[in-house]
Structure 1
Amino acid sequence: MNEETHVPNTARNTPHTHPDAPLTGRIALVAGATRGAGRALAVELGRSGATVYVTGRTTRARVSEVGRSTETIEETAELVTAAGGTGIAVPTDHLDEERVRALVDRIDREQGRLDILVNDLWGGDHLLIRSVFGKKSWETPLADGLRILELGVRSHMITAALALPLLIRSDAPLHVEVTDGTAASNRRYRENLYYDLAKNAPIRIAYGLGEELAEYGGTAVAVSPGFLRSEQMLTHFGVTEENWRDAIAQEPTFAIAESPLFLARGVAALAADPDRAARWNGKSTSSGELGRVYDVRDADGSRPDAWAFIEDTVYGGKEAPAEDYR
Structure 2
Amino acid sequence: MPDDGNTAGNAEGNVDGDRHRAGDGNLRGKVALVAGATRGAGRGIAAALGEAGATVICTGRSSRAGNATSDYDRPETIEGTAELVTSLGGTGIPVQVDHLEHDRVRALADRVRGEFGHLDVLVNDIWGGEELKGGPAEWNTPIWRHDLDTGLRILRLAVETHLVTSHFLLPLLIERPGGLLVEVTDGTTEINASSYRISVFYDLAKESVNRLAFSQGHELAPHGASAVAVTPGWMRSEMMLEHFGVTEATWRDALNPERADGPVAPADFSESETPRFVGRGIAALAADPDHARWNQRSVTAGDLAREYGVTDVDGTSPDAWARW
- Which TM bucket (shorter chain)? 0.7 to 0.9
Report the alpha carbon displacement of residue 204 of structure 1 after superposing the two structures with TM: 0.3
Residue 22 of structure 1 deviates from its aligned partner by 1.2
2:303 to 289, 296, 301: 289
Matched with 2:4 is none
In the aligned structure 1, how far is the partner of 2:116 from the partner of 2:177? Answer: 14
CA separation of 1:118/1:268 partners in 2, compared to 1, >3 Å: closer, same or farther?
Answer: same
- 1:163-202 deviation line (CA, Å, top 9, x unaligned): 1111110221100000011112112111210000110111
Partner in structure 1 of residue 10 of structure 2: none
Choose which of 167, 181, 184 in structure 2 pairs with 1:175: 181
Q: CA deviation at 1:270?
A: 0.4
Structure 2 equivalent of residue 323 of structure 1: none
Partner in structure 1 of residue 224 of structure 2: 217
What is the aligned partner in structure 2 of residue 230 from structure 1? 237
Residue matched to 2:197: 190
Pick the aligned partner of 1:269 from 277, 284, 290. 284
1:126 is matched with: 131
* Contact 1:20–1:48 (8 Å) recurs in 2: yes
Q: Report the alpha carbon displacement of residue 205 of structure 1 after superposing the two structures with TM.
A: 0.5
Deviations 1:245-295 (A, max 9, x none): 2223423121211111110111000000011102x1000100111110001
2:147 aligned with 1:141: yes
Q: Quote the offset at 1:159 in angstroms.
A: 0.3
Q: Contact 2:123–2:182 at 8 Å: present in 1 too?
A: yes
Map of 1:205 onto structure 2: 212
% same residue: 54
Alignment partner of 1:75 is 2:89: no
- Find the counterpart in structure 1 of residue 5 from structure 2: none
* Cα separation, 1, equivalents of 2:130 and 2:74: 15
Partner of 2:101: 96
Gaps of 5+ in 2: 1-22, 258-263
Mapped to 1, the partners of 2:190 and 2:320 lie a distance apart of 13
CA contact (8 A) 1:52 1:86 kept: yes
Q: Distance in 1 between matches of 2:248 and 2:54?
A: 27
241-250 vs 83-92, which moves further? 241-250
SS in 2 for 1:306: coil
- Pairing 1:62–2:66 present: yes
Residue 84 (structure 1) aligns with: 89
Structure with the bigger RCO (C-alpha within 8 Å, sep 6+) is 2
Contact between 1:234 and 1:244, CA under 8 Å: does it hold in 2? yes
Please, which runs of 5 or more residues in structure 1 have no aligned partner? 1-18, 312-326
> Does structure 2 retain, via aligned residues, the 8 Å contact 1:60–1:69?
no
Deviation at 1:243, TM superposition (A): 1.2
TM-score, scaled to structure 1:
0.86
Match of 1:161 in 2: 167
Give the structure 2 partner of residue 114 of structure 1.
119
1:132 deviation in Å? 5.0
Distance in 2, matches of 1:170 and 1:139, equals 48
Q: Distance in 2 between matches of 1:245 and 1:128?
A: 26
- Answer yes or no: is the 8 Å Cα contact 1:134–1:192 preserved in 2: yes
SS in 2 for 1:136: coil
- TM-score, normalization: structure 2? 0.87
Tell me the alpha carbon deviations over residues 101-160 of structure 1, each in whole angstroms, 9 at most, x when there is no partner.
000000000011111100000011001126952311121110100000000000000001
Q: Distance in 2 between matches of 1:303 and 1:20?
A: 18
Contact in 1 for aligned 2:47/2:276 (Cα 8 Å)? no
SS in 2 for 1:61: coil
